[in-house]
Amino acid sequence: MRLQDKVALITGGAQGIGRETTLRFAAEGAAVTIVDLNDEAGHALVAELEAAGQRAQYVRADVSQAGDCEQMVARTEEKFGKLNILFNNAGIMLPDDDDAISTSEATWDRTMNVNLKGVFFGCKYGIPALRRAGGGSIINTASFVALLGAATPQLAYTASKGGVLAMTRELAVIHARENIRVNALCPGPLRTELLMKFLDTEAKKQRRLVHIPMGRFGLATEMAQAALFLASDESSFMTGSEFVVDGGITAAYVTPE
């Protein structure tokens, strides 16, 4: 198995990309700490994994809070003895996130606190644990919109994911000689609850779909496969990268006339 005897921590781990990645990592031999704010989904996922003979725990944590992030790492080391893989995946996309004129300061701040500060806190407390384990892999969820402008305005989200890319590159350089790899996963538009709530009309969905050469939204399971590659030793010479899994949208993006 590709993650045999590894220990992973996945934020936003009970839903969407996080849930599918939790299932994939566990199937490949990893013990997983599932971090989320959805207690029902988190506990249900742990029960599902344990019923399959896999190791998991649920930790409730708000990644925008330093104390919560410190606790999620500590709980991982307490239960499983180490941390090898940190997947900073938790993120939000608020419905009133729009252009600079329309987006409220509250929406901007909340988006930055979760999507950007949450990754910072994950790394702040996770990197010392990875050092104690002799190294490991950090995966930060960014987005294709960090590489280009979005057809449907979502300025706070786009800016936050751009920050994730910049942070990923710098951390990769800082920790490269410590056997700690840091990469950013850049999903394209996905058929997940997060995006479908934002693209809440057929017109919005079609405006996004028209740019995707493959002609469909991606799946959370496809992002889990990409995260598995970044977590495993198969990507051992890969750090500071933007791992784009987007159905071709960044290769072919044009603004419609």
User: Which residues are identified as catalytic?
Assistant: 157
Q: Which residues of 26-45 are buried (b: 16+ CB within 10 A; e: fewer)?
A: bbbebbbbbbbbbeebbbeb
Instruction: Tell me the chain's radius of gyration from C-alpha atoms.
Output: 17
Q: Among the residues of 10-65, which ranges form H helices?
A: 16-27, 39-51
Q: How far apart are CA 20 and CA 25, in angstroms?
A: 9
Q: How far apart are CA 68 and CA 61, in angstroms?
A: 5
Can you say whether residue 187 is alpha, beta or left, with left for phi > 0 and alpha for psi between -120 and 50 degrees? beta
The length of the chain in residues reads 257
Q: CA quadruple 236, 237, 239, 243: dihedral positive or negative?
A: negative
User: Can you say how many angstroms the Cα of residue 233 is from the centroid of all Cα atoms in its chain?
Assistant: 19
